C-alpha cells in the first residue's frame, strides 16, 4: 500500500494545478457541508437501498428524483442538489455516485465505517474487490463530490483517472489485479496526502492520523515555548500567551491566559514539563477537529477520548461526557470547554489547576460512566494507586540492596 514518490507527486500536482488543495474552505459556515455532516451513516445506507430499489438504472438524478431519495435524511435536499449540480440551482442533474460518495465521506460515522460504505458503493459486481475501473470511479466521485459540497473547484474526471491509474498498482499490494477492502482501507490509512484531503474536504480522519497530528502539534508548541524562553529558566507568561495567540488564531487571549495561569498556579514555575499536560490536551482537541470548525460533535468527541485514553469509549460514555463538557449547551464541545473540563479547583485558593492524569484515572475507574465513583469503584482506584506506590517503593528498595551488595 506504500505509494511511490511518483504517485504522491502526481497526486499533489493534479490537486495543486486544479486549484483544489489551495482553495480555502470554511466548513463551519458552509450550509451544504453542515447538512451532510448531520446525517448518520445508517440513513445513507437507507437512502442507497431506496435508490437501488427505485432508480437503479439512473446514473444521474434530477431535482424531483433527488428529493424522492433524500427527503427523509436531509432537511433541505434542494440546497444540496444545487451544490452538487454543475449547472447550479434547480436545473440540470447530479451524478448519483458523486452524491453518495460525498454523503458517505462526510456523514457522521467512524473512519472505518465510511471506508466500508464507499468500498461497497463502487464494488459494482459485488465481488468484494475493486477492479481498476472501479478504483478510478471511486477516486473521481469522492474528490469531486466532496469539493462540490464545500464549494471548491472539483478536479476534472480525466485528472482523477490518471491518479487512479498511477496508484492502482501500489494499492494492489498482493498483485492480484484487484483491490480488496483491506488493501483499500490500509492504503488510505497510511497515505498522508489522502488523509489530508479527507480531513480538509470530508471532515474525517483516522485515529492513526490524529495521533500523528497530535504529536506534531506538541512539537510545534514546544519549539515556540523554547523560543520565547530563550536563555532564561522559564518564559515570561505574558509573552508566551501573546506568541501563542499570534501563531494560533483560534486561541483566544482569555484561553491563552487561562492555560498559562493554570500551569503557573500548579507548580509556581512555568517549565515545559509543567506546561506539557495542558498543551497535550490542547493538541488532542486540535488533532481531532478534522473539519476545522473549532468545535467537536459527538463523533469527534469519541475520537478525542479514544486518542487521549488509548481505547475506544462506549457510546454511553461519549453521551455522558458531551453533556458534562458542553457548558454552553449548544451540543458541541469547544476548546475552552474541553480544557476547563480537565482542570481541577485548588481547595486552598479556589483557582483552577491542571491535573490531566487525575482526570484520565477517574474516567478509567468510573466503570458505569455515571460521572461519580461509587464505593466499589473508589476502592479499585485506591488499590491501583497504592499498588503503584508500593511497586515504586519496592523498586527503590531493590536498587538500594543491589547497590549495597
Cell numbers standing for residue 124: 459494482
Q: pLDDT digits over 352-400, tens only?
A: 666 555 555 555 666 665 556 666 766 665 666 566 555 655 565 555 5
C-alpha to C-alpha distance for 289 and 21, rounded to whole angstroms: 18
Cα–Cα distance, 255 to 241 (Å, whole number)? 9
For residue 98, which of 154, 163, 16 has the smallest C-alpha distance? 154
pLDDT at 77: 94
HSE, CB side, 13 Å, CA atoms: give it for residue 107.
24
CB 73 within 8 A of CB 47: yes
pLDDT at 86 over 80: no
Question: Do residues 259 and 274 touch, judged by C-beta distance below 8 A?
Answer: no
pLDDT at 171: 87
Q: Decide: 382 and 365 in contact? Cβ < 8 Å.
A: no
Q: Which helix (H) or strand (E) holds 163?
A: helix 157-171
Is residue 37 a contact partner of residue 107, using CB atoms and an 8 Å limit?
yes
User: Over the stretch 201-220, which tens digit does the pLDDT of each residue have?
Assistant: 777 888 999 999 999 999 99
Closest to 363 measured CA to CA, from 323, 299, 318, 298: 318
Query: For 13-65, how does the pLDDT look when each residue is reduced to its tens digit (9 = 90+)?
Result: 344 434 444 445 666 678 899 899 899 999 999 999 999 999 999 999 999 99
C-alpha cell at 46: 437507507
Closest CA to 201 of 110, 263, 292: 292
- Helices assigned H by DSSP within 2-131: 5-17, 31-37, 41-54, 63-70, 77-84, 96-106, 111-122
Give the residue with greater pLDDT, 4 vs 114: 114
Candidates 262, 238, 263, 241; CA nearest to 252 is: 241
Q: Which three cell numbers stand for residue 331?
A: 451540543
Cα dihedral across residues 190, 306, 318, 279: positive or negative: negative
Give residue 7's pLDDT band: very low, low, confident or very high (50, 70, 90): very low
Cell numbers 497510511 label which residue? Answer: 190
**Per-residue pLDDT tens digits for 279-307:** 988 999 999 987 777 889 888 899 999 99
- Which grid cell is 327? 457548558
What local confidence, expressed as pLDDT, does residue 230 receive? 85
Q: Which residue has the higher pLDDT, 140 or 262?
A: 140
Alpha helices in 207-355 (DSSP H): 207-229, 237-247, 253-267, 272-288, 298-309, 315-325, 335-342
Q: Environment class of residue 267 by beta-carbon count within 10 Å: exposed (0-12), middle (13-18) or buried (19+)?
A: middle
pLDDT of residue 43: 96
Q: Which three cell numbers stand for residue 166?
A: 498511477
Which stretch of 177-191, 216-230, 289-303 has the lowest confidence by average pLDDT?
Answer: 289-303
Q: Are 289 and 296 in contact (CB under 8 A)?
A: yes
Q: Which three cell numbers stand for residue 365?
A: 475507574
Please indicate, yes or no, whether the overall pTM of this predicted structure exceeds 0.75.
Answer: no
Amino acid at each position: 500500500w506504500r505509494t511511490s514518490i511518483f504517485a504522491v507527486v502526481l497526486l499533489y500536482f493534479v490537486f495543486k494545478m486544479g486549484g483544489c488543495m489551495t482553495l480555502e474552505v470554511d466548513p463551519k459556515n458552509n450550509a451544504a457541508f453542515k447538512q451532510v455532516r448531520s446525517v448518520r451513516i445508517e440513513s445513507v445506507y437507507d437512502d442507497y437501498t431506496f435508490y437501488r430499489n427505485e432508480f437503479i438504472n439512473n446514473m444521474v438524478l434530477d431535482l424531483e428524483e433527488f428529493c424522492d431519495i433524500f427527503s427523509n435524511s436531509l432537511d433541505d435536499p434542494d440546497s444540496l442538489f444545487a451544490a452538487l449540480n454543475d449547472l447550479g440551482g434547480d436545473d440540470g442533474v447530479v451524478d448519483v455516485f458523486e452524491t453518495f460518495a460525498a454523503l458517505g465521506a462526510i456523514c457522521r460515522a467512524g473512519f472505518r465505517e465510511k471506508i466500508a460504505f464507499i468500498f461497497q458503493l463502487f464494488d459494482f459486481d459485488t465481488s468484494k474487490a475493486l477492479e481498476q475501473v472501479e478504483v478510478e470511479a471511486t477516486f473521481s466521485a469522492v474528490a469531486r463530490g466532496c469539493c462540490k459540497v464545500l464549494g471548491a473547484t472539483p478536479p476534472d474526471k480525466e485528472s482523477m483517472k490518471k491518479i487512479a491509474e498511477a496508484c492502482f498498482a501500489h494499492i494492489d499490494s498482493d498483485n492480484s489485479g484487484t483491490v480488496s477492502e483491506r488493501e483499500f482501507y490500509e492504503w488510505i490509512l497510511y497515505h498522508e496526502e489522502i488523509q489530508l484531503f479527507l480531513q480538509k474536504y470530508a471532515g474525517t480522519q483516522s485515529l492513526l492520523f490524529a495521533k500523528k497530528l497530535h504529536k506534531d502539534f506538541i512539537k510545534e508548541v514546544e519549539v515556540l515555548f523554547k523560543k520565547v524562553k530563550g536563555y532564561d529558566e522559564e518564559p515570561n507568561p505574558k509573552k508566551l500567551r501573546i506568541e501563542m495567540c499570534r501563531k494560533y488564531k483560534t486561541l483566544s487571549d482569555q484561553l491563552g491566559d487561562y492555560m498559562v495561569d493554570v500551569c503557573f498556579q500548579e507548580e509556581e514555575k512555568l517549565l515545559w514539563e509543567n506546561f506539557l499536560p495542558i498543551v497535550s490536551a490542547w493538541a488532542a482537541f486540535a488533532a481531532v477537529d478534522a473539519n476545522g470548525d473549532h468545535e467537536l460533535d459527538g463523533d469527534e468527541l469519541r475520537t478525542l477520548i479514544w486518542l487521549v485514553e488509548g481505547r475506544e469509549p462506549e457510546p454511553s460514555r461519549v453521551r455522558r461526557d458531551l453533556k458534562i463538557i458542553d457548558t454552553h449547551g449548544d451540543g458541541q464541545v469547544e476548546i475552552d470547554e474541553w480544557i476547563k473540563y480537565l482542570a481541577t479547583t485548588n481547595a486552598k485558593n479556589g483557582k483552577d489547576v491542571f491535573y490531566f492524569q487525575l482526570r484520565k484515572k477517574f474516567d478509567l475507574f468510573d466503570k458505569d460512566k455515571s460521572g461519580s465513583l461509587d464505593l466499589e469503584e473508589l476502592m479499585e482506584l485506591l488499590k491501583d494507586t497504592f499498588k503503584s506506590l508500593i511497586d515504586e517503593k519496592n523498586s527503590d528498595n531493590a536498587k538500594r540492596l543491589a547497590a549495597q551488595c
